[in-house]
Structure formats: C-alpha cells, structure tokens
Amino acid sequence: METGIHELTAGYALDALEPEERRAYEAHLEGCEQCREELAAFWQTTEALAVAASGPAPSGELRERILSQARQEPQVVVPLASRRRRTVPVLAAAAGVAAVVALALGLWAAGLSSDLDDTRAALERERAAAAVLADPGARSVALQPGAATDGRLVVDPDGNAVLVVNDLGPAPAGQIYQLWIVPHGGEAASAGLSQGADGVDVIPVEGTVDEGEVVAVTVENAGGVDAPTTDPILGSLPV
C-alpha cells in the first residue's frame, strides 16, 4: 500500500475526507494496525480536549517514578516500552484551534483590567504554544499511568513543548502548579508556572525537552520553588 494513505489518518479522525478518500482509507484501515493505533490516539486526544472529565487520584507508583529521577537515583525509573513516537498533524486542528483560541479570548478579557505588558507577554506565550500544536512534525507523548488528569505532552522537532491537560482545575489558594523537565538520572529543572484551569488547559513548557526526558507537574507555594517539594500529580512518558 502506498505511503500516502497513512497521511489520511488525521483527516479521517476529523471527518474531513472526500467520499473517495474515505472509502480508500477505510479499506486500508482493515489491514493496517499502525493506522488503527494512530486513529485511536487521535480520537483519544480530541475527546480529551472536547469533554471535561475528572481523572483518578495519582498513584504512589507515579510519584516514585518521577521524583526518583529528580533525586538522581541511578536506576531506570520510567518505563521505556511506550517511547514510540507519533506524528500528530491533527493537533493543529483539534488542539491548536479549539484550545488556543479559547485561551486567547480569556487572556483578552483578563487584559482589560491588567497591566498591558503582562498581557502582551501572556499572549506571546500562547502564540508560541499554538505554533507547537500546529507544527505537523510535532509528537504527542502520553502521560504516565495514574496521572491526576488526562492529557498529552506535545513536542515539536526543536524540543519546544506544550502540556495539554483536561480539567486539571485551578491551583489551591496560595499555591501554584509548577512544571519540571526531568532528565533520566538528572536533576529536575523548573519549566514554568501555571494557575491551572477548568476544562482544557494548554500550558507552555519553558525550555526545551530532549529525548529521554519527562515533564512533571507538582503543586508548590505561590511563586514557585527551585526544586520540587511535593509529589508530582502528573508526568509524561519519556520523550
């Protein structure tokens, strides 16, 4: 089967194919496990972006996997079996349009009563996030099992990353969500702060995420900290 048929997965997931293309893709889908897996991943992502659903409480296993890396344990602490990379052009339409436009409208409303420079900086961060989501070469990385919510980490070819989470909720009073880039066997580096939000939240990751690293989120005192002081509530699989 020609390679081009695989490129129709995103359009099929979004119901954007012509009738002839749809028939050809559905016939191909019956015998292609790769396309079935890609299609399931696309549908999982778009469903998470469109439907608010609370997630399970984080497990002790998740906590130990991520923080053991930040404490420089010499052991392998994150399973590597799920490191297969996927190209996700559908995120440009699903996440880039739905999530970023909604966030931009929220920032515009907030900017009416806030400092103009802060508002411009916030909008610039959202534009950067939209660029990552719209990059056809971006990869979608699943979250660790047992995360506090569902979502994906999206990483472009240059290592710029965006965390897309569903119904994380606002941070508790006096606290904030802090992102961390955690290299295997290395020290966690702060990767930005977020107040959190209900529904779909698109959180830019400050810095670049390299191969083998994970992105984790902890709840810290307002203003952030230099190193994690609490157990992570979620983390990605290795990039």
The tens digit of pLDDT for each residue in 99-148 reads 544 555 555 455 544 555 556 666 777 778 888 888 888 889 999 998 88
Q: 125: which DSSP letter?
A: H
* Measured distance CA(46)–CA(63) in Å, rounded: 27
Tokens of 53: 């659903």
The tens digit of pLDDT for each residue in 159-206 reads 999 999 988 899 999 999 999 999 988 899 999 999 998 888 889 999
| Closest among 210, 194, 216 to 139, alpha carbons compared | 210
In this prediction, residue 73 carries a pLDDT of 43
In this prediction, residue 45 carries a pLDDT of 57
Question: Within a 10 A sphere around the Cβ of 11, how many other Cβ atoms?
Answer: 17
In this prediction, residue 25 carries a pLDDT of 83
Average pLDDT over the chain, rounded to an integer: 74
Using CA atoms, how far residue 182 sits from 125, 188, 209, 238, in Å, is 22, 4, 9, 9
In this prediction, residue 54 carries a pLDDT of 39
* Measured distance CA(23)–CA(34) in Å, rounded: 18
Residue 94: pLDDT band with limits 50, 70, 90: very low
Tokens of 182: 């955690």
Q: Helix or strand or coil: residue 233?
A: coil
Are 228 and 215 in contact by the 8 Å Cβ rule? The answer is no
Residue 19 has phi, psi (to 5 degrees) of -55, -40
Report the DSSP beta bridge partners of residue 78. Answer: none
Residue 93: pLDDT band with limits 50, 70, 90: very low
